[in-house]
Structure 1
């Protein structure tokens, strides 16, 4: 969720960045008017107060829009303050009129393109009308120079402001719609990864249930048949009944052994099938998977152990990271075999934090179970966080495995 929080924060900053253009434009416009000695100070004060109120409500509105909420009352009140800012500030596109553009840049991001286009046209017409009225009245008009008032000067101002308003509105709306689309796409991708992780866990439970059924169901059926036969033979042929019960005893011991192996995770899994399975799950979750395998088959004694470790490590990747890639490396010599699972999307942690988790009994991401299972065959598991946001799990087993 850290990645999603950072994406939300970046989206918020991008959607609020146009406020800098508003305040910067108002400041430059005021300085220019003051330099000409035509600064309407009462209107300036009203415009600044309206812009301050607009800014406060706008920041709240951005947060609501990012969360896919569109409070109508807040939208309307923010729009009223934007109009008040523009009216009292001269409504110049790169001045107080920027309040109209900033307001539209957020209001138009959540609806359809047709609605955004209609709002853009209406805002452009409103901004041009307000700026033309301010220019005609003689205040807040930067182009109002003594030699600028000639035939058609007001029409030239309208054409220039129309072009500037249209350009600003197009750039701001398209930019904000793009940023909000990217953020929501990231949220959906993260939710998809969580769904894949839940699916992987559910599939593992189903697989375990099938294993139990295959093991226990078959053995119990055979035991039931042989005990019924022994009962029938007990009166007429005690020797045959005894032989059947001896067979039942062997079946019972075998069933108990297989059940313990299934519960403890030591059934002989197919390493090749497991690697293909986890690769498919990772790529379905949008995680690029690289398999780095030896040119020879892994030793038969260590392959089932590493198959379980791969399954556990990849489940950990899906459930507890925002990974974009995962590399699985297998290697072995005559003395030892190694498995390494490396993925990104895990923030680095201090060693003191990891020791604290161990003292508190938090095994972290199911890795403690892997340590126990590897220890049972004389192996070990090491975990470390890389400085580049990578998470590395390495399992090492000495060969040959005792027993």
Structure 2
């Protein structure tokens, strides 16, 4: 017994170290993701382009603009509207609000007025208008708005500067479409990164649930068997030393098997066998002085179905040994063409044991079987005692090769 406890302590230490390592790796990965993500784009991204209006500002101060007060007022209104639209274009709700669209329309009117009145460097406000429009009008109608702005810019530029208006039209269309494409791509990348982090978080949570569920089901049954066999060895030792040694040998075997199963559970490669679990159930019930009656019929089952039913047998028999006070336990497995049914009944007090939390015990088994399209019911049997019934579908493609349909 001392050797088994020592091994279990070693396993516990290894599990603690494994958990700490996993948490450290997760923290490192989270730090790397945060570092790569950077701050989200904002209206400040579009502000440097206002430097394109310095030529118009220089014309005002150098006296090349007629009615400089009107030009200065127009420049101030345009810049104010541009900043307003720019900072509201990086949130979907504010971007699609009527006030943003109204401000963008006012920008278009001011741009056309200033360009028609002064021409020259004032025509560069059209590409700035395209930047604001590309940021605010991302969506299915962007192409139409982009072409419309380009046509208006070309017409106004043609009226003021002749064929040079084509350059203004091209610059306006390019600024509109490129801005929308870059910002849409940035949004898509951030959404993909958020989805990836969400999936990673869910995967970690599912792995933790799987490990805690496997650990509960593995050690709960194994430790119950060890306790029962230890009590049997203690009772047998005074009168039958050979029988007591047999029980101790079984304890050693169960302990070694538990170590193997815990390692497999940690690595995620454990595959259960229904036949093996039925044999262990017989041994555990015999050691607890419970008569074991096992019936099995039907064709061979797929490995995944056998593994799930093995978990049910393990948990149900553990409850019989620990809580039922039964003298007889019957396990029946009946397989059909498309479904298999497992029933574990006893003649005990009809108690299932203490209620387990989510993911463990009968609750965890119900979740496992539901995921596989099956069901599990547990409760007091019609003739007293406690009954656990599990049903699972058997898909044709999962059957072992050579098994009858």
Question: TM-score, normalization: structure 1?
Answer: 0.45
Question: TM-score, normalization: structure 2?
Answer: 0.44
Which of these two proteins has the greater Rg computed from alpha carbons? Answer: 2
